[in-house]
């Protein structure tokens, strides 16, 4: 059976996948609350003959499996939304629900493309009678960077040969380099409360410690690698000004291109926190809330992804869709749009397309900047994994904006999603038909992890 015929399955499934995708978009659920979204995915998989396996202790995570034997291919699906990004499919800011959640990271698209490909690959396995297993991974809590880290810790990915992943974005590109590794840490300081005017000498301010720690952290920034990021908020700053704060808390993210840098900077940050406690005669405890790894490259899978992105027909857009993309792009500051575009593609002359058409040349893929973090990075450290982006939002529209929510519920989003589903399907077709490809990706993975094994950021 030819690959083009297998890709046709996606065309046939197009309506069912798109309906599910818009249903998820219309009922956004934030990280940790994805009850209905996960159930909708389970339901579709069940109706197509997949076996659902639950993951103990993780209510909104599951595996939908079909087939038997090798290769065991995992497609990663997510479905969580973001708080405060509620938005209609509109070219001006108009939330469905004031301050409500919305799919500003396009995870409705992310999960639906993965699901669509799982259904198509099942169809292929069934018809061709070839050995192979397809697993759809329902992964919750991506926005809080923890779902897949917890799933790995519970052994949910055991037995897989290869993982396939993608993310909705404003450009089409295969990636070899992506995600900053990350640690999320809370620092809690404990002092002694006192009347701030009557007996300040008896008080030991936990808030002073938080502030001094922040000063120390700001000095640290000069002496870390350029690509490192340290950001914080104060999550408890005490209460009334006339009471010396007995308790205070800050929340830090440390990010860097490699996990080992994150670990080193985290150790230095902890020393700063200890110093702040010493200076203020308070006590300090810290909690690592979570952490993630950067994407571990896999050249074999990168090449395979690129090849399939080229082979599969790209979406074509109507005048109306191009107008919609242009209007959405125009709601953003032009300088910001330009800066955002440069992270993904280099435009020639005064070319100003509104939707990225074509694919970033594979020699330029390493210049694409994807500086967020994702728990998908962790999966790439336990098995070979690919990553690609497709244009689901107008060029220059960043993730985590109302514009991204609007596009994720529009036909632009759906077209980019179906394109991604076909790329997944094409890749799985190649992997099922060429066991050597699976072996080569595995060998590369083993080589790359020879000296550095995955250690869960969770204790
Ligand atoms: Zn995302």
Residue 378 Cα to ligand 1 midpoint, Å, equals 15
Q: How far is CA 260 from CA 254, 269, 280, 410, in A?
A: 12, 14, 31, 40
Record the tokens describing residue 27, joined without a space. 């009922």
Which has the closest alpha carbon to 428: 66, 158, 93? 66
Residue 38 Cα to ligand 1 midpoint, Å, equals 16
Say if CB 165 and CB 389 are below 8 A apart.
no
Q: Under 8 Å CB-to-CB from 76, ≥6 apart: which residues?
A: 114, 137, 139, 148, 163, 164, 165, 376, 379
Residue 206 Cα to ligand 1 midpoint, Å, equals 35
Which has the closest alpha carbon to 165: 101, 107, 81, 228? 107
Residue 36 Cα to ligand 1 midpoint, Å, equals 19
**What is the rounded distance in angstroms from the CA atom of residue 263 to the CA atom of residue 455?**
11
**What is the rounded distance in angstroms from the CA atom of residue 274 to the CA atom of residue 240?**
26
| 212 pLDDT tier (thresholds 50, 70, 90) | very high
Residue 417 Cα to ligand 1 midpoint, Å, equals 14
**What is the rounded distance in angstroms from the CA atom of residue 3 to the CA atom of residue 49?**
22
What whole-number percentage of the chain has pLDDT above 70? 99
**What is the rounded distance in angstroms from the CA atom of residue 406 to the CA atom of residue 87?**
6
Q: What digits encode the pLDDT tens for the residues 382-418?
A: 999 999 999 999 999 999 999 999 999 999 999 999 9
pLDDT at 312 over 80: yes
| pLDDT averaged over every residue in the chain | 96
Classify residue 163 as exposed, middle or buried by CB count within 10 Å of its CB (0-12, 13-18, 19+).
buried
Which pTM does this prediction carry?
0.93
Residue 106 Cα to ligand 1 midpoint, Å, equals 7
Q: How many other CB atoms are found less than 10 A from the CB of residue 25? A: 25
Residue 127 Cα to ligand 1 midpoint, Å, equals 34
Q: Under 8 Å CB-to-CB from 350, ≥6 apart: which residues?
A: none
Residue 348 vs residue 34, higher pLDDT: 34
Residue 322 Cα to ligand 1 midpoint, Å, equals 24
Residue 351: predicted pLDDT: 66
Q: What digits encode the pLDDT tens for the residues 9-33?
A: 999 999 999 999 999 999 999 999 9
Residue 345: predicted pLDDT: 84
Domains parsed from the chain with CATH numbers: 3-179+294-448 (3.40.630.10), 181-292 (3.30.70.360)
CA angle, 353 then 357 then 362, to 5°: 120
Residue 400 Cα to ligand 1 midpoint, Å, equals 8
| 350 pLDDT tier (thresholds 50, 70, 90) | low
pLDDT at 343 over 80: yes
**What is the rounded distance in angstroms from the CA atom of residue 64 to the CA atom of residue 138?**
8
pLDDT at 293 over 90: yes
Residue 105 Cα to ligand 1 midpoint, Å, equals 5
Residue 420 Cα to ligand 1 midpoint, Å, equals 15
Residue 399 Cα to ligand 1 midpoint, Å, equals 8
Q: Under 8 Å CB-to-CB from 284, ≥6 apart: which residues?
A: 187, 188, 189, 190, 209, 273, 274, 276, 277
Give φ, ψ of 393 to 5 degrees.
-125, 155
Residue 401 Cα to ligand 1 midpoint, Å, equals 12
Q: Under 8 Å CB-to-CB from 49, ≥6 apart: which residues?
A: 66, 122
DSSP lists the bridge partners of residue 365 as none
**What is the rounded distance in angstroms from the CA atom of residue 245 to the CA atom of residue 319?**
60
**What is the rounded distance in angstroms from the CA atom of residue 20 to the CA atom of residue 4?**
24
The mean per-residue pLDDT over the stretch 139-151 comes to: 96
Residue 251: predicted pLDDT: 98
């Amino acid at each position: 059976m030819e690959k083009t015929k297998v890709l046709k399955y996606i065309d046939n499934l197009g309506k069912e996948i798109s309906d599910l995708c818009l249903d998820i978009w219309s009922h956004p659920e934030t990280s940790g609350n994805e009850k209905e979204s996960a159930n909708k995915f389970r339901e579709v998989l069940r109706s197509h003959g997949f076996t659902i396996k639950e993951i103990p202790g993780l209510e909104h995570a599951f595996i939908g499996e079909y087939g038997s034997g090798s290769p065991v291919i995992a497609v990663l699906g997510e479905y969580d939304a973001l708080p405060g990004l509620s938005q209609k499919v509109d070219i001006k800011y108009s939330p469905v629900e004031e301050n409500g959640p919305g799919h500003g990271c396009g995870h409705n698209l992310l999960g639906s493309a993965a699901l669509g490909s799982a259904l198509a690959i099942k169809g292929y396995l069934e018809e061709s009678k070839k050995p192979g297993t397809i697993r759809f991974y329902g992964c919750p809590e991506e926005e809080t960077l923890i779902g897949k880290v917890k799933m790995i810790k519970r052994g949910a990915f055991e037995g897989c040969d290869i993982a396939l992943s993608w993310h909705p974005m404003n450009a089409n590109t295969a990636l070899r380099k992506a995600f900053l590794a990350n640690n999320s840490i809370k620092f809690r300081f404990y002092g002694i409360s006192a009347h701030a005017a009557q007996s300040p000498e008896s008080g030991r301010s936990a808030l002073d410690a938080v502030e001094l720690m922040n000063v120390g952290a700001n000095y640290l920034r000069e002496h870390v690698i350029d690509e490192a990021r340290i950001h914080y908020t104060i999550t408890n700053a005490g209460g009334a000004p006339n009471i010396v704060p007995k308790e205070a808390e800050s929340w830090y993210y440390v990010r860097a291109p490699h996990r080992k840098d994150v670990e080193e900077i985290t150790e230095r940050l902890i020393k700063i926190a200890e110093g702040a406690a010493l200076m203020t005669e308070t006590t300090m405890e810290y909690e690592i809330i979570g952490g993630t790894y950067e994407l571990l490259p896999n050249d074999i899978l990168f090449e395979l992804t690129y090849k399939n992105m080229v082979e599969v027909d790209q979406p074509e857009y109507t005048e109306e869709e191009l107008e919609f993309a242009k209007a959405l792009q125009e709601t953003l500051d032009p300088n910001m749009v330009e800066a955002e575009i440069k992270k993904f593609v280099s435009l020639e002359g005064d070319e100003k397309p509104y939707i990225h058409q074509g694919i970033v040349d594979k020699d330029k893929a390493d210049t694409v900047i994807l500086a967020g973090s994702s728990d998908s990075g962790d999966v790439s450290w336990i098995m070979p994994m690919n990553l690609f982006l497709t244009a689901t939002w107008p060029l220059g529209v960043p993730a985590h904006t109302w514009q991204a929510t609007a596009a994720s519920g529009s036909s632009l989003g759906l077209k980019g999603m179906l394109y991604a589903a076909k790329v997944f399907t094409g890749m799985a077709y190649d992997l099922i038909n060429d066991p050597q490809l699976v072996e080569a990706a595995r060998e590369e993975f083993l080589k790359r992890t020879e000296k550095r094994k995955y250690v869960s950021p969770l204790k």
